[in-house]
Amino acid sequence: MNWPALLEMQFMRHAFAAASCIAIAGSAIGYFVVLRRQAFAAHALSNVGFAGAAGASLLGIDPLLGLFVFVLASAVLMALAGENVGQRDISVGMILMVSLGLGILFVNLYSANADAAIGILFGSVLGISHEQLHMTFMTSLVVMGLLVIMFRPLRFASLNAPAARGRGLPVTALNLLFLLLLGATAAMAVPVIGSLLSFAIFIGPAAAAQAWTGRVASGLVLTMALALLETWGGIAASYYINWPASSCIAILSFAIYALGWLSSRHALFRRFDKHIRTTTS
């Protein structure tokens, strides 16, 4: 098979495949993260995995297992914090604080395997093994399948939680399941793009898409398309200009978000000008 130059090496094909899985699943979850105003929770779940990886290294087990366990446990605690935005953000902040503190403690107690835990913070998209690729694919498949099943009730609860509760929907259970899906997606994404740059997938494409369309279905499709665009572009740019792939992805994500923000501001100014002209004429 005559691959393009950047796909002639197996590790690059693994990078594109794993990053594509994360782009699709992560951006789909990220659309609802932005819609539900839970960006801080997404950021926290991506970062608390550091403590889980460090703790697993201290116990001599697979850091990825510790990452998944710690992130999912934190997702449950965040769900128990309730739906009030102020109280929820305080709880998320406290969970993030103690997790990072524990991570630093674990690294200091057993520095021999600290590199594995520190690597969680930055990811290694160009170092994906066949086993990691398989796990990423299966996790993204499960996340997308569950998201499709709960799409309608989740959309209703995200747009109008009181009305959804009045219709008899289990809003509390939906919140818990959504945070578990977010946690699983974050745990899947962190070893590839790093916890510090997970916003590039979770938030950037969704924020831009919601600036361009208010419809959930079309917004989801646009979000996933933008996420794939920035992911493929970031990896390709990393190959050709020799920059870190995560940095390239983050720069493209910010550029897409900035474009969406500027275009929405421009539309807002046009509507405001039209309103002023109408009221003064």
| 172 φ/ψ sector (left φ>0, alpha ψ -120 to 50, else beta) | alpha
Range of the domain at 186: 3-198
Rounded Cα gap, residues 70 and 53, in angstroms: 8
| 234 belongs to a structural domain | no
| 121 belongs to a structural domain | yes
CB 230 within 8 A of CB 205: yes
Please give the pLDDT value at position 192.
Answer: 82
Residue with tokens 């995995």: 49
Rounded Cα gap, residues 114 and 121, in angstroms: 11
Please give the pLDDT value at position 177.
Answer: 93
| 229 belongs to a structural domain | no
Residue with tokens 């992130």: 71
pLDDT tens-digit profile, the chain (281 residues) = 455 677 888 888 999 999 999 999 999 999 999 999 888 888 888 888 888 888 887 888 888 888 889 899 999 988 887 666 656 788 888 988 998 888 888 878 876 666 666 666 677 788 888 888 998 999 999 999 999 999 999 999 998 988 999 888 898 899 999 999 999 998 888 888 877 678 789 999 999 999 888 889 899 999 999 999 999 999 999 888 888 888 889 899 999 999 888 887 765 555 544 544 455 45
| 254 belongs to a structural domain | no
CATH code for the domain in which residue 57 is found? 1.10.3470.10
Rounded Cα gap, residues 208 and 219, in angstroms: 9
CB 205 within 8 A of CB 261: no
Please give the pLDDT value at position 85.
Answer: 61
Number of domains in the chain: 1
| 208 belongs to a structural domain | no
| 153 belongs to a structural domain | yes
| 84 φ/ψ sector (left φ>0, alpha ψ -120 to 50, else beta) | beta
Which SS3 state, helix, strand or coil, does residue 168 take?
A: coil
| 53 belongs to a structural domain | yes
CB 159 within 8 A of CB 217: no
